[in-house]
A and B are shown apart, each in its own frame.
Chain A
Amino acid sequence: MSGLLHFSEHSLQEFALGFMALVYIIRLVWLIHFKAGRDRQAQTGAANTNPRKGFIYSWANIAMPWAMESTRTKFFLYVQFAIFHLGVTAAIGLSFVIPYAPGLLESAALVIILKTIIGAAFIVGVMRFVRRLSNKYMRAISSPDDYFSLTLLTAWFFFAYLSVPNSTESGEWHLLGYFILTAFFLVYVPFSKISHYLYYPFTRYYLGKTMGHRGVYPMRHVPQPREQR
């Protein structure tokens, strides 16, 4: 392993992770310094709902594609979402496995699983990019950050895919690409839309808490035989 690759796998990652953590903390402090609105009113709606059930349901919503009309009627997009985020998890996991537990990649099963997930995520990344470019609505709401973040992640998947199973037989360029992109990604994340997962618990908590207090969440799923689309 070259010195550059070693630096990329260790010092660079550690610095990037530390930086990301610091900026995240600042970001959270910033968010929390805004006062939370209060629900003074007595509870409405069904007696068996309450704020706690509401926010738990709200957090779990992501794993319930049937819960929202938008995911129910666009199930393919939901599947893409699931694959993409599994890909992110796998690629982040890989950035720890390679430097700290490379032995795990001797398992052929793990290699196949990682390759499948990350490869599929790469394809979804490309599909999402095409959708963002070709769909009029998506173009209208997209910012340079949206395009760049998606490009960055898709390229990162590409290098991550090549980096499994941590082989340097055909050179180090793919591993270098992967770790440099990982570091860049970690530093860039707090400034971009990719940081959405930091806010996700808050938005869903507050929406769920209010909707639970109002008796809307957990939603009562009544069959809607005639969806509008």
Chain B
Amino acid sequence: MGNRKRSYKAEKVIERMGKKLNRQMVASLVACVHCGLCTEACHYVLANPGDPTYAPAYKADQVRKFFKRHFDWTGRILPWWVKAKSLYTDEELNELKDTVFGKCTNCRRCSLNCPMGVDYATFNRMARGLLVSVGVMPEGVAIVSKDQWEIGNQMGVLKEDYVETLDWLSDELEDELGDPAVRIPIDKMDADVVYSINPREIKYDPRTISDAAKIFYVAGENWTMPSECWDMTNFGLFSGDDDLGGAVGRRLYEKVVELRGGKLVISECGHGYRSTRCEAPNWAGMDVEFEMESSVLTMLRYIKEGRIRVDKTKNKIPVTFHDSCNNARSCGLFEEPRELLSLVVEDFREMYPNRAENYCCTGGGGAMSMSEYTPQRLKSAVTKANQMKDTGAEIVVTSCHNCVDGLTDLIRHYKLGMQVTQLVNLVANAVVVEKKVAVPVEAVPVMAEDNVLKGYRILVTDDEPDFVTFVSAVLEDHGASVSRAYSGDEALELARREKPNLITLDIAMPGKSGKEVFEEMRADSDLKRIPVCIITGRPELRRLIYDRPVPPPEGYMDKPVTEDGLLLNVRKILETAHEKKSSEA
């Protein structure tokens, strides 16, 4: 193989490939006949006509070439004849990184369209794992993996914050349904259902948790949520790191056993479901004895068994359904969501192609955490955008948190004006709640709904005047007094002068950015205790905020925001801050 010197990392990648190869992968690596039939199965190709570097077989060849050079005889003997080529430099590893992370979401659509049965997505994941093992990966992948290894969940949610959020949600539910039995049970032993979630739900979308709790409550389920090891997502699937994948899965499985739970129910998340339900037992090398099921199946079962009743007239707006690649193409979960939708919405419109043939939301494979590839991700989303637009629906439903982010981003980019929601939200909205209040509840002074923010001063910061007007109007309608800032400097000045109870902050603003404002606030002894809610149209910039050596913001929302979502988040932050203050006092 010549005398060319190979870098330490390249050497390790080749050495470790030998250990990772299994029969399935080797067969896929040797079987491609370069027929090109998979080319147009890939959303990247469709969005970049004429650029062959996006073709699945071309991308696969970037991995195949060093496999052939080192493990396959034709490539060893006559490398140029079969385009075999070794890896030598760190520069080449970086180029490979841009292919396996930046040009493929591991959606497996090409795999199902290859007449030879070549499963490119599987060995693309292996290649990711090899690069990760030598530290070559997008920054976001490194950050999220680190959080999942060290803190136990991929968004670095601390136990106190998690429990506090569940408590707050319980309070809200108790207020809404007037029954203390609706509270979310934490660490309850011998529950029939242990419910695991995506940390995104705690951080950005707590309504999905309270909606699920409402459904469990109405169904009379004996359920619980663990106080630790509750993250069913698994960044190992995206990073290709089987050790991380196995460790994360094992933590959750062991928690269920420790709680003597009957069944693990996995909230709506494509990669979480695939990892926890299907892949992690393989990565962890353990046989899981208890049953695991997607919450979609749980909700459907409740309706079929008559444990909950639903009224589909509550969901009148036309909806369509986006199949998550992991759910549909890797777990066969595509009929049940449709069956459930048909029970809880009035106007369902199919998206074409669908089920296992659906196109990726383009945020899959961890793409949402790789901000360096955002422009090409959004460009490749045009196929999905057209698919969605063609349905004429106003809401797109998906059973995946990753897809929620990916779709939200593309809706904004392509100005589709649609909303994204999950089945749990629709089911909770349609569920008929029978009055069950038997226990007398201590009278709590309930504030009139339109005055819930009375007495609070909130500073709204965004460089888009329309958005400031919208947020201000919602907050003022509910009693808050609002100040408005259109730049970072203005926000700091007003914050110092008015000491508001809460600041909403955009990240990308001309002049001083939200990130800088946030850091200055956290460093300022007068301002550091003011809660901050980030509201941004650029989710890829999240890491700019969360990857700081300062306490994270108290809230986070993606644009577009809805009135309900805004109120829910703002109330949660204010109430939590209030409780914190009281306990400190």
Contacts and interface: CB of A to CB of B under 8 A. Distances in A.
B27 A193 contact: no
Given A137-B52, A199-B30, A202-B27, A145 B36 contact: no
Nearest to B355: A222
Interface stretch (B74-82, B199-207, B399-407): B74-82
A140 B62 CA distance: 12
B21 interface: yes
Contact of A226 (B30, B287, B390): B390
Which of the four size classes fits the interface of chain A? 35 or more
Interface string A128-143: 0000000111111111
A69 B113 CA distance: 6
A41 B332 contact: no
B34 A146 contact: yes
B40 A229 contact: yes
A82 B282 CA distance: 38
B354 A222 contact: yes
B277 A41 contact: yes
A82 to B, nearest CB: 11
A45 B24 contact: no
Given A70-B40, A202-B27, A203-B117, A193 B390 contact: no
B118 A37 contact: no
Contact of B287 (A40, A81, A148, A214): A40
A68 B112 contact: yes
Contacts of A36: 22-24
Interface in A3-49: 31-32, 34-42, 44-46, 49
A203 B30 CA distance: 9
Interface stretch (B53-61, B167-175, B367-375, B418-426): B53-61
A145 to B, nearest CB: 5
A204 B116 contact: yes
B89 interface: no
Contacts of A144: 80-83
B111 interface: yes
A138 B34 contact: yes
Interface in A185-229: 191-193, 196, 199-200, 202-204, 206-208, 210-211, 214-216, 219-220, 222, 224-229
A226 B74 CA distance: 43
Contact of B116 (A196, A208, A225): A196
Contact of B82 (A145, A196, A203): A145
Interface string B90-104: 000000000000000
A123 interface: no
Contacts, number: 192
A42 B36 CA distance: 34
Give the secondary structure class of B's interface. Answer: helix
Nearest to A38: B282
Contact of B333 (A35, A45, A73, A211): A45
B246 to A, nearest CB: 11
Contacts of A196: 31-33, 116
A200 B353 contact: no
B22 A216 contact: no
B552 interface: no
Nearest to A73: B40
B390 A200 contact: no
Interface residues of B, number: 73
B37 A31 contact: no
B119 interface: yes
Contact of B383 (A77, A220, A228): A228
Given A70-B113, A193-B33, A222-B354, A228 B52 contact: no
Nearest to B285: A40
A219 B353 CA distance: 14
Which of A74, A141, A145, A215 has the most chain B CB atoms inside 10 A of its CB? A141
A118 B61 CA distance: 32
B282 A135 contact: no
A61 interface: yes
B352 A225 contact: yes
Given A141-B61, A196-B31, A207-B111, A70 B41 contact: yes
A206 B30 CA distance: 14
B115 A61 contact: yes
B28 interface: yes
Interface string A176-187: 000000000000
Contacts of A45: 331-333
Nearest to B390: A226
Contacts of B410: none
B27 A206 contact: yes
A39 B282 contact: yes
A31 B27 contact: yes
Contacts of B113: 68-70
A140 B27 contact: no
Contacts of A148: 81
Contacts of B26: 31, 34
Which of A203, A214, A222 has the most chain B CB atoms inside 10 A of its CB? A203
Contacts of A206: 23-24, 27, 117, 119
Contacts of B352: 224-227
Nearest to B273: A44
Interface string B470-481: 000000000000
B523 interface: no
B115 A137 contact: no
A220 B335 contact: yes
B329 interface: yes
A105 interface: no
A214 B332 contact: yes
Contacts of B50: 136
A208 B53 CA distance: 28
Contacts of A49: 332
A136 B330 CA distance: 31
B333 A37 contact: no
Given A68-B112, A143-B83, A229-B40, A224 B22 contact: no
B288 interface: yes
A219 B57 CA distance: 23
A71 interface: yes
B116 A37 contact: no
B23 A215 contact: no
A145 B278 contact: no
A62 interface: yes
B356 A219 contact: yes
> What are the 7 tightest A-B residue pairs by CB atom distance, in nearest-first order?
A45-B332, A215-B332, A140-B52, A203-B117, A204-B117, A199-B31, A70-B113
Given A35-B22, A191-B78, 5 more contacts: A40-B281, A69-B113, A145-B74, A199-B27, A219-B112
